[in-house]
Every structure is written in structure tokens, then in C-alpha cells.
Amino acid sequence: MIQSRDSVKDIWGERKPYYGEWPERVDQNLDAEPDNWVKSACVLCSNGCGLDIAVKDGCIVGVRGRAEDRVNHGRLGPKGLHSWVANNSQERLTKPLIRKEGKLVETTWEEAMNLIVAKSKEIIAKQTGLGIGFYTSGQLFLEEYYTLGVIGKAGIGTPHMDGNTRLCTATSAAALKESFGSDGQPGSYTDLDTADTILNCGHNIASQQTVLWSRILDRLAGPNPPKIIVIDPRTTFTAEKATVHLAPRVGTNIPVLNGLLNLIIQSGNIDQDYIDQHTVGYDELVKVVSKWTPQRVEEVSGVPQSKLKEAAALLAQTKTLVSTVLQGFYQSMQATAASVQVNNLHLIRGLIGRDGCGIYQMNGQPTAQNTRECGADGDLPAFRNWSNQQHVSDLARIWNVEVDKIPHWAPPTHAMQIWRYAEQGSIKLLWISGTNPAVSMPELARIRKILNKDDLFVIVQDAFMTETCEHADIVLPAAIWGEKTGCFTNVDRTVHISHKAVDPPGDARSDLDIFIEYARRMDFRDKDNKPLIKWTDAEGAFEGWKACSKGRPCDYSGMSYEKLSGGSGIQWPCNEKYPNGLRHLYIDGTFNTNIDYCESYGHDLETGAAVTEQEYKLQNPNGKAFIKAADYKPPHELPDDDYPFMLTTGRVVYHFHTRTKTGRSKELNEAAPDAFVQISEADAAGLGIADGDMIEIESRRGKVIEPARIGDIEPGLVFIPFHYGYWDKPGRLRAANELTITEWDPVSKQPHFKYSAVKIRKAGQGILNKIENVIEDVATAVNLKL
């Protein structure tokens, strides 16, 4: 083992103090000296660290960070350094599986694809494409999403296509569209190298993006360290380093943000010229936030007035600011409305479009940006506006199909609604790729029930036998990172190419090959009776995408596989004007809000009602950013006598998603082998709970049993990490989403994972309870295997 450091113990690695230019530090983890290195990037979070894959005798034997890469300057985090071992796991799926007499058995690609095609045609004949839904991922490659997008929209003609990105970054896209007219992160990671202040909103960056946090730790150790403001109800690793830590009650992000905006406006430290020249809606903001005095904020959120004032003073005076927003906002009450307030903060202070000033409406997954860009989620490709007839016509021209083939009568169906249609029986075929909804969706008992419906044909395309595969009618074995070539884009718009390093195991195929094969067998045609999908490989798909993205905000037309392979990451837009990409968007204060260019006419932040074209014309933003105000609405489910605690869910540093990869690394698994419930000292004492005791947590929707971990959380609140399911530990109900609530943000449609009212008690009190638990556990285990 050739390891540059023990990243499990030393998560963020050695400090390289700096200001200005982030020094290099190359991290690596190798099992053996490789024969050759293959250029790629990391897929274990949204950061997109450049790395090389080490190959020996046709096997992956390790990874090494790339020093010249603009994202990581050589560094890799624990997940990236260890998860490549999953590629070599003996548990990889190597053959298609088909359900026969209730059991999944091995089959051939021929039989599996024949059945999928026959089912598809049967359903389309009866119900049109409206009977088919796709639920994809934030972890395929750009070329795969784009191909899937074309198949769904111009082949089948179904609006039912979304990704698990709905659960993680839908609010990111929604907040950017509401404020700036289109998706696309305004900033660049280089902003962190000089920023005076960093604001983390519901973003535990130290655990989520460990390499990005190293960059901040190195700044903190250097000259002119930045001030850090953290908004998070828990004392996370990130919060521990904060200059000011605001810990609001769950569901009260709007009061805190409105309180901060109010104090900033009152201090007079606004950029009135910027507001006048580059925004609309400021007066309404002043009206709404003026009601949020520090006293009222404290009453509603529990954040002390003195802390709010301290944070507001920093934000009012700072000359540069980087803000990041993630699940603490996105998966909570008023998700889009709260995230938009962070955009407002930058707009009223004019802190956008220049070095040191970045807004990151963060992504969670490595390729989530591409799901959104390519139209494999609830968007049209290249940030086109589904309610703009010209945009839809453009797509029809590019794909050479009739414009009415493309569903555009309403926004593409969001994931929560796709599942609802499946539950009601109007979607008969659900094709799931690269995601594990049986652990990651809210209210798992309901999800299992839907997956098990007799009238729903479920296809699951994955690398491992996930909890979701257990319910499938067909399982397709997928090749993963390192076994196929493709591109993906990180959260600061940096595009990397990841080359194929080794062959996939057994008969596993890339998602791209599977989709292309499906299109061929379905015989999708264009207007001239030529095959709809014009490419047969990843580079061909990328060329197709370049043409589709040309002239749009996410313009890839100046890139090529050769160019991407020659360097180490290029930011979009990359075109004739910016052949090497562009560090910041909105440099001149012109936003993507022109009516002919914008991705969306926007929404009523409270109801989610779509703004019409006529109403948008009246607002006449024409390149100005929107400042949209929002007043507070309490969460729908609050603690009461029956369910007196609030549950929130989140991540741990060593795992990604449902642990399909990270759980197969010995080091990562040993570092965090099981779920737990975090509870405050006061509540633990009140209930007689000691560290490590088994605790039963019950909501109106389900029950789990977890060991207790005491401290670093506000009283009244408990926390369970969402990573843990049943594939490696079927005995005990432990998935946090057994408890979570089925409801979502009215604008972004992102589910509310961050609050559920629960009751808790020590598990196994009394022999009857014990017996009851054992029976339930066995029943659950049996049910899961059905």
C-alpha cells in the first residue's frame, strides 16, 4: 500500500497556509505500482477533483490527485482515495437478471432487452409515452444523460423524466433560475483564495466536500484568514471553525436570512447603484424583511440577537464574499425561498461577477450539474425554457423531429409526481438508473409498496445488487467510472473528461451503450426516417451535446475530447468568445433574464404557481436580476405531545449516498460502520439514555432502531445519517427515510428531508417490546427479499 496519508484519521490532510495561490499537495492511495495512469476525475461528491487512475494488469489499483488541476491542486479526500476498490468488488453485477416465478435469475442481454422493448411498445400502444417514466441519477456521465434526454423527449415523447437530483440539488437550479434567469453557478472556486468572508448556509462543507474544506482550512492557517459564518442547527466540523455559528431551529431559515438582510439594509451598506442598474424587486424586499427585527428572529428561530448582529455586521462590511448553500436549506421548509435570499444578499451588496465573490447553490452529486444541463431531469436540454415555443422549436430542429413530439405543454414531471403516478397506476414502466430510491426516497414503506406493485414494470440499471434491485423485474448490470469514457461538470462549471481505464466486469455495459441499444431496438426515427440517435459512442454523444448547447448559457461548443484530454478541466461557457472558458458569470451585471433567453419565467415563491409570459413581459427584467422576497411559513409538521422531537437527516464524512461504493471500502466502512441517532445531553439525560444505548425512533410513517450518540446538537432535535440501508445489514430497521415525510418545496419540488416529528424511547424495554421488535425485524427482512 502506497498511501500519502491516512485520510480516514487525517480527513483534510496537512496544512499549506496561503493567500492568493493555493499550493499543491498530491494525495494518493495505491495498492501496487501501476503499469499506466489514466486521466479522470473523482465521482464521490460534487467537487470534481482531477485525478489519475492507476492501472496494473487490467485492474484499477489506486488513484492519485492531479497537481495541475484547477479544482483540487492535487488533493483527494477519504471517499475519493478509497472508493475505487468498489470497482473490483466481487459483488459487482455481471449479468442481466430477470424475474421468473418471483425470483431474479440470470439471463442474457438479448432476453432482457427483448422484454423491455416488448413492454415499452405495449404500454405506448395503450397509453402513449405517458405510461413510461425514467428516474435517473446525478452519477451518470453527460453523454448518457443527453442520450437519455433525447430518447425520452423525442423518441418516446414522455414528460416523465427526472433524476435523484430532485432530492439533492433541484433547489440549486430553482434558486438560480428565480434570481438570475437560468441555472449556472455564478462563481469560481478561485474566489475562495482571496475572499474576506465565507457564508455556509445549511452546508456542512467539511464533511461533504473535504477537499474544498481543505482549501478553506489552508486559508484559515494563512495570512488574512477569512471570517466564516455558519448557519446550521448542529455543531458540525464546519461549525466548529466558524467565526459566528448561527444554530436556528429546524425550518426557520427564512427568519434568519430576512433578519440578516434587514440589518444589512439598515446599516446602509448596500450598493444602491448596483441595485438600481442591475436588479428588479428591491423595494418589496425592504418591505418584507423590515418586519424581521433581531428580537423577532430570536423568538422564531432561537438565534440570539447578539449573534445575528455579529453575523450581519460581517456581511454588511465585507468587500468580498463567497456563499454556499446546501441541504440544510434545500431539504427544509421554504427551500427555494430561503436559498434565493442568499442570492439577494449578494445582489444588494453588489458582490457578484468578480474575483472573491461567488455564490454556490451547491450540488451534492458529481454529475448532478449534467443531469440538469442535458435534460435528464425536469428541465429541457441546455437550460431551454419549456414554455418558450422558440426554444422547443430549436430542440426539434436539432433533433430533426416534429416540434409536437417533444412534450412541452407543462413542465417536465418532477420525481415525486412520477412516483405518485406509478402509485396510482398511470405510469406502468419505471426505468431507474444509477440510484437507489429504496433507501434514498422519503417514506420508504411507501416506496417499497410502489416498487412491488403488480402493474408496475421496474427496470433497475446499477453496478450492485442494491435494495432497489431487490424489487426489480429486470436488473441491468452497469459499467461505472473507470470502465467507460465520458465527461462531467462540477459545481464551479469545470468540465472534466474521465477516460476508460479498464474493462467492465462480466457482461456489464455502460449506461450509454444500454440507452443506445434500447433506442436502436425501439427503432426511434427522425423526420427523415433516419435513426433518432445519431451517435454510437461517447465522443459522438458529446459532439451532439455541443451542437445542442451552442448559444445557450452552458455553451460547450468550444470544447472537444482532445482539448479536455490535453488539460485538466475547462469551465463553461467555452466557445469562440471564451475558448478557455470563463471564470465568472455575470461579469458586467447582465443576467440571463431576457425574455427570449431565460430558462424560466419564474414562480410565485410561496405557491409555486408559474409566472406567465405576459406577466414576465410586464416585469420587463431584460438582463436585470430578480430580487424576490419571501415571508416565513412554519413547517407543516411540528413536534407535538405525541411526537415531541424534531428529526433531521444528513451525511457523515466517510460515506456517499447509500454506500454502494463507500460501504465496500474496508477503511471507510470501519470508520463509520453503522447508522446512529444523535441526541442532546439534556434530552438523553431526561430519557435515561447513555451513549451507545439502542434507541427506537418513531414517526407517523415508520420506525427505526439506532445506537445513541450524545451531544453537539440542540435540545429537542435528533439527527440520523441517511446513508444506511439493508444490503449489508438486513436485520434491523435503520434507514433514516423510514421516518421522513412525503412533501416537497412548491417551487423546486425537492422533498423535505430535514424535518419530521418523532418520538423516541430506549429500545427493548420490557420483554414484550423485544419480542415485538424481533417479529417486526424478521418481517421486514423477509419483505425486503420478496
Partner 1 sequence: MHIGTYIQLVHQSEKDLAKAFHYVAEAHKAEPDIFGMSNTLAGWSEELYNKLQPMTEKYGKEDDSEADRLLHAFFDQKRKGSLSLLQDLQDLWLMANEANVSAIILGQAAFGLRDENLIALCEEIEQKSKRQAAWLLTRIKSSAPQTLIAAS
Q: Name the segment binding partner 1 (CB under 8 A); options: 252-260, 409-417, 697-705, 776-784.
A: 409-417
- Is 49 within 8 Å of 41 (Cβ atoms)? yes
* Least distance between partner 1 and beta carbon 670 (Å): 39
Alpha helices in 22-70 (DSSP H): none
**Residue written as cell 438582463?**
623
Q: Are 685 and 608 in contact (CB under 8 A)?
A: no
Q: State which residue, 135 or 744, has the beta carbon closest to partner 1.
A: 744
Peptide bond into 294 cis (omega under 30): no
Q: 358 or 746: whose CB is closer to partner 1? A: 746
Contact flags string 611-650 toward partner 1, x per CB under 8 A: -x--------------------x--x--------------
Q: Quote the cell numbers at residue 195.
A: 475572499
Interface region with partner 1, contact rule CB under 8 A, candidates 94-102, 341-349, 507-515, 739-747: 739-747
Instruction: For the chain, state the CA radius of gyration.
Output: 25
Cell numbers that stand for 660 in this block: 454502494
- Which range binds partner 1 by CB under 8 A, 92-100, 247-255, 418-426, 553-561? 418-426
> Residues 6 or more apart from 234 whose CB is under 8 A from it?
204, 247, 648, 650, 678, 712, 713, 714, 717, 719
Asked whether 84 and 43 are in contact (CB, 8 A), the reply is: no
Euclidean distance between CA atoms 24 and 37, whole angstroms:
19
Cell readout for 74 is 492535487
Q: Is 775 in the site for partner 1 (CB under 8 A)?
A: no
Q: Note whether 409 binds partner 1 by CB under 8 A.
A: yes
Site string for partner 1, 85-124 (x = CB under 8 A): ----------------------------------------
Q: Which of 17, 20, 23, 425 binds partner 1 (CB under 8 A)?
A: 425
Contact 714, 757 (CB under 8 A): no
SS3 56: strand
Binding status of residue 735 toward partner 1 by CB under 8 A: no
746 lies in the binding site for partner 1 (CB under 8 A): yes
**Residue 421 binds partner 1 (CB under 8 A):** yes
The nearer residue to partner 1, 409 or 786, going by C-beta atoms, is: 409
Other C-beta atoms lying within 10 Å of the C-beta of residue 334: 28
Locate all alpha helices (DSSP H) within 413-457, ordered by sequence. Answer: 415-424, 437-440, 444-451
Tell me whether residue 536 or residue 612 sits nearer to partner 1 (CB atom). 612
Candidates 106-114, 236-244, 298-306, 405-413 — which segment interacts with partner 1 by CB under 8 A? 405-413
Rounded to a whole number of angstroms, the minimum distance from the CB of residue 291 to partner 1 is 16
Task: Mark residues 692-731: x for contact with partner 1 by CB under 8 A, - for none.
Answer: ----------------------------------------
Nearest approach in angstroms of CB 614 to partner 1 is 12
Q: Which of 128, 389, 594, 765 binds partner 1 (CB under 8 A)?
A: 128
Tell me, residue by residue from 526 to 565, as one string, x for binding to partner 1 by CB under 8 A and - for no binding: ----------------------------------------
Q: What is the C-alpha separation between 625 and 644, in angstroms, rounded?
A: 42
Under the binding rule (CB under 8 A), the answer on residue 392 touching partner 1 is no
**Least gap, CB of 653 to partner 1 (angstroms):** 32
- 773 near 765, Cβ under 8 Å? no
CA 781, CA 778: separation in Å to the nearest integer? Answer: 5
For residue 92, give the DSSP letter.
B
Cβ nearer to partner 1, comparing 421 with 572: 421
Number of amino acids touching partner 1 (CB under 8 A): 31
Please choose, from the candidates 298, 289, 231, the residue with its C-alpha nearest in 3D space to the C-alpha of residue 258. 289
Q: Which of residues 142-181 bind partner 1 (CB under 8 A)?
A: 159
Q: How far is the CB of 601 from partner 1 (least distance, A)?
A: 11
Candidate residues 42, 229, 359, 427; the one interacting with partner 1 per rule CB under 8 A: 427
DSSP string, 710-769: ESSB-TTEEEEES---SSS-TTS---GGGT----B-TTT--B-TT-EEEEEEETT-SHHH
Rounded to the nearest whole angstrom, what is the least distance from the CB of residue 395 to partner 1 in the complex?
Answer: 19
- For the bound state, the minimum distance from the C-beta of residue 695 to partner 1, rounded and expressed in Å, comes to 28
Please select the residue that binds partner 1; options are 363, 369, 417, 433, rule is CB under 8 A.
417
Is 317 one of the binding residues for partner 1 (CB under 8 A)?
no
Using the rule CB under 8 A, is 586 a contact of partner 1?
no
User: Residue from 295, 306, 389, 426 that binds partner 1 (CB under 8 A)?
Assistant: 426
Using the rule CB under 8 A, which residue among 90, 529, 607, 614 binds partner 1? 607
Residues 512-531 interacting with partner 1 (rule: CB under 8 A): none
* Residue 607 beta carbon to partner 1: minimum distance, rounded to whole angstroms: 4
Contact call for residue 235 and partner 1 (CB under 8 A): no
**CA dist., res. 202 & res. 217, Å (int):** 19
How does DSSP assign 468-528, residue by residue? Answer: TGGG-SEEEEB--TTSS-EEEE-TTSEEEEE---SPPSTT-B-HHHHHHHHHHHHT-B-TT
Tell me the sheet residues that pair with 646. 717, 757
End-to-end CA distance of the chain: 41
Nearer to partner 1, 408 or 584 (CB): 408
Exposure on the CB side of residue 318, measured as CA atoms within 13 A: 29
347/610 with CB nearer partner 1: 610
Q: Residue 633 CB, nearest distance to partner 1 (Å)?
A: 7
3-state secondary structure of 200: strand
Closer CB to partner 1, 418 or 758, in the complex: 418
CA 408 – CA 393 distance, rounded (Å): 10
Rounded CA-CA distance 711/732 in Å is 24
Q: Answer whether 643's CB lies under 8 Å from 703's CB.
A: no
454 binds partner 1 (CB under 8 A): no
C-beta of residue 108 within 8 angstroms of C-beta of residue 12 = no
Q: Which residues bind partner 1 (CB under 8 A)?
A: 127-128, 130-131, 159, 407, 409-411, 413, 416-417, 420-421, 424-427, 604, 606-610, 612, 633, 636, 742-744, 746
